[in-house]
Amino acid sequence: MTLLDDPRIARLIILIRAAMRPPKGAGRIALALCIGVLCHATFAAGVLAMIVMMFFGLSKSLGTVPWPMAALANAALIAQFPLAHSLLLTGPGGRFLARLIPGPHGQTLATTTYAIIASTQLLALFTLWTPSGIVWWQAEGAVFWIVTGAYSASWLILLKASFDAGAEVQSGALGWMSLMARIRPVFPDMPTQGLFRLIRQPIYVAFALTLWTVPIWTPDQLALAICFTSYCLLAPRLKERRFAQRYGERFARYRANVPYALPRWQQDRPDAQ
């Protein structure tokens, strides 16, 4: 089996090749490139802010709201991400995304627009947070390196799960590259490979792991970890409703064979594809 036989890689290669040979249309190409740069810049900034700020347990950030009003400001920063993240995945949310960019290309760019919004939300959350100034625990010596290793591993698992789900969608590349190539965006099939063979929601589980493997613990980090872990456990239920409607019996078989969040190590997991 070659790399091109892997649909996760084959899709990316086909999309990248098509984007590198765009049909004529200077305006369309310029729009695609500008949106693409904006998408990946905000994506990198948002993820980097999350990695760094959580590494320090949210004890360092740029927010300066006076206490106790800072508690309300921080709570709003926590709430805005899961609320918008979920609402934009609904039917009305999708139609809203398609209208955000005026002109005929809004629908094609919807996945890229979604990635820009989500990345901006993360960037706002982790840069505008107002730290409490309280540090409960800080890992030191060998414990620091063990915890840091676990934190790094959690991010690598999240990266792998995102790749298994469809890197072009998770990164926002699908929209702007499809516009470059002047093709209809083709979404990945129902993910069942890689980590999706073990559990149905590896992205949410990996995201939750990053919240609990930090080397510095503060009230700020605990509040974030509790709220976002609750979201990671509950929000995928809405996703699975959409999958049940879209894939029908095929998803029902997959759901019957693969656990939700905790793998069954002692049981064979037949391929749902």
On the 0-12 / 13-18 / 19+ scale of CB atoms within 10 A, 150 is middle
Contacts of 47 (CB under 8 A, 6+ apart): 119, 122
Q: What is the pLDDT of residue 121?
A: 95
Query: Poorest-confidence range of 89-103, 223-237, 255-269?
Result: 255-269
pLDDT bin (cut points 50, 70, 90) of residue 269 is very low
pLDDT of residue 1: 55
Q: Can you give the pLDDT at residue 266?
A: 61
- The pLDDT tens digits for 220-252 are 999 999 999 999 988 888 888 888 988 999 999
Q: What is the pLDDT of residue 41?
A: 97
The set of residues, in sequence order, having a beta carbon less than 8 Å from that of 37 and lying 6+ positions away, is: none
115-157 pLDDT tens trace:
999 999 999 999 999 999 999 999 999 999 999 999 999 999 9
Section 68-97 average pLDDT = 90
Residue 11 binned pLDDT confidence (cut-offs 50, 70, 90)? confident
In the prediction, which pLDDT does 147 show?
97
Return the pLDDT at 272. 43
pLDDT higher than 80, residue 3: no
On whether the CB atoms of residues 4 and 10 are closer than 8 A, the answer is: yes
Question: What is the mean predicted confidence (pLDDT) over 9-27?
Answer: 89
Average pLDDT over residues 9-21: 87
pLDDT tens column, 159-183: 999 999 988 999 999 999 999 999 9
Three-class SS of residue 126?
helix
Question: Quick one: average pLDDT of 104-112?
Answer: 92
Span 95-106, average pLDDT: 88
pTM for the predicted model, two decimal places: 0.88
Nearest by Cα to 258 from 273, 241, 242, 239:
273
**Is residue 171 within a helix (H) or strand (E), and if so which, with residue range?**
none
pLDDT digits (tens, 9 = 90+) for 57-78: 999 999 999 999 999 999 999 9
Residue 45, token pair as written in the block: 């900034």
pLDDT at 267: 52
Q: Mean of the per-residue pLDDT values for the chain? A: 90
Nearest Cα residue to 58 out of 187, 168, 217, 174: 217
259 pLDDT more than 90: yes
